[in-house]
Amino acid sequence: MILIINDAQRDLPAGAGAARTLEEVLQSLAEDFRDEGLLVTQVILNGTDVTGKPQEEVHALGAPQKVEIRARRPEELVADSLAVTAEMVGPLQRELAECADKLRIGDEANATLMLFRVIDSFQLLKMGVSHIGRILRMQLPDVDRGVLDEFIDRLDGQLSEVVAAQESQDLILLADLLEYEIGESLEEWQQQVSEMGKRLCRVEA
C-alpha cells in the first residue's frame, strides 16, 4: 500500500500494511497525527476523494492500495477559514448597497429578489463562522471565540430587523439597515477576523 501525506510519501506505521479498510489505516495513523497536532481535512482512497462519504461508498472502492491524506494544524485551518469568510465581505457589501439603491428608487421587485440572494449569502457566512467556532472549541479551547459569537448574535438581530422592516413595507428603513448597519458590521467583522487570523499565524509559527 502507498501512503501519501500532504503530497509526500510516508513510511507505513506499524500495522498499517495489513490494513484491509480505510478505517484501519486511519486508526493506525491517529497517534502520529495527535503527536504532530494535525487534523485530517481530506482523504483520497485509490484515486477517489472519499472525504465525508458514507462508509458504503468507501468500502465499494475495495482494499486500500493508495491512500492520500491532507492534514493541517488547527491554527492554519482556522486562519485560512477566517480569510475565506473575510473575502465574502466585499461582494456582500456591494450587493447590500445595490439592493438599498433599488429600494430607495422604489424598485421593490428587483430589490426583493436581490435580498433573497443576500440572505442566502449570509446563511453561508454564518455556517462558515459556526464551523470555525466548533474547530476552536474542540481543538483550540484557549483561543477567545468571543468575536465569532458576537458576530453571529449581531447578525441574527440585524436580520430580524430586516424581516420586520420588509413586513411593514418600510423600504427606506430597510435600505438603511442593509447599507449602513449590516454593511458597517461586515466591515468591522472583516477587520476583526483579519487580526484574529494574524494572531493564529503567530501562534502557529
Summarised one tens digit per residue, pLDDT across range 12-44 is: 776 555 556 778 778 878 878 888 888 888 999
Fold designation for 2-72:
Ubiquitin-like (UB roll) (3.10.20)
d(CA 42, CA 77): 12
Of the candidate CATH numbers 1.20.120, 1.10.3720, 3.90.550, 3.40.1130, the domain formed by 76-204 belongs to 1.20.120
Helices (H), 17-71: 22-36, 55-59
Place of cell 465499494: 60
Each of the 205 residues of the chain gets a pLDDT tens digit; together they read 888 999 999 887 765 555 567 787 788 788 788 888 888 889 999 999 999 888 888 888 888 889 999 998 888 888 888 888 888 889 999 999 999 999 999 898 999 999 999 889 888 888 888 888 888 888 888 888 888 888 889 989 998 999 899 899 899 999 999 999 998 889 888 888 888 888 777 655 5
Detail the DSSP E strand segments found in the chain.
Answer: 2-5, 8-9, 39-45, 48-49, 66-72
Place of cell 479551547: 141
**What pLDDT score was predicted for residue 9?**
92
**What pLDDT score was predicted for residue 15?**
57
Strand pairing category for 66-72 and 2-5: parallel
d(CA 169, CA 108): 10
**What pLDDT score was predicted for residue 190?**
87
Q: Mention every residue, 6+ apart, whose C-beta is less than 8 A from residue 176.
A: 100
The domain locations on the chain are 2-72, 76-204
DSSP state of 8: E
d(CA 133, CA 144): 10
d(CA 161, CA 185): 14
Biggest CA pair distance of the chain = 70
Q: Contact at 8 Å (CB) between 182 and 151?
A: no
Q: List pLDDT tens digits, range 155-177.
A: 899 989 998 998 998 999 999 99
d(CA 6, CA 185): 37
Q: Mention every residue, 6+ apart, whose C-beta is less than 8 A from residue 132.
A: 78, 81, 82, 85, 148
DSSP state of 204: H
DSSP state of 7: T
